[in-house]
Structures are given as C-alpha cells and as structure tokens.
Amino acid sequence: VPVPFHALQIGDVLVMRIEKEAQHFGILSQLHPRYMIHAWAQARRVAENRIDELWAQRIIGAHRFKGIS
C-alpha cells in the first residue's frame, strides 16, 4: 500500500531513484532521526544509514505491507 511521507512508520519500504528510474530500496529502521537499512553496493554489504539530505532527495515513494507489524 502506498504511504505518504508524513505517515511513514518503521518497517515501511522506501523506493529510491539513484539515476532516472526507481532502482533502489530501503527499509525504514528508525524515525527520529530517520535511518534505513539497505544493500549498499559501494560498501559491498547491507548497511544502516541515516537518511541525510542526499538520501532524502532520492526517495520517490514509500509502501507498507498489510498485516506486517
């Protein structure tokens, strides 16, 4: 289910655009400040990163899976 940014909750899936198309996903892991878990190719690992201004600009949508809490 699509989620508006003002209603994000931990566990929501973030859809990001690095170049032109949506091609990267993260899972919101903390709200204040916002952090996400994602597979980070540059680090060659799964990482938890703060959603700074650069990452925030890349987020183009968010979704929530029904029935998962």
What is the C-alpha to C-alpha distance for residues 13 and 59, in angstroms, rounded to an integer? Answer: 10
Below-70 pLDDT ranges, the chain: 69
Triad 53, 56, 57: Cα angle to 5°: 90
Global confidence as pTM: 0.86
Kindly report, residue by residue over 17-31, the tens digit of the pLDDT. Answer: 988 888 899 999 999
The gap from C-alpha 67 to its chain's centroid, in whole angstroms, comes to 19
- The pLDDT, as a whole number, for residue 69 is 67
- The pLDDT, as a whole number, for residue 48 is 95
What is the C-alpha to C-alpha distance for residues 31 and 10, in angstroms, rounded to an integer? Answer: 7
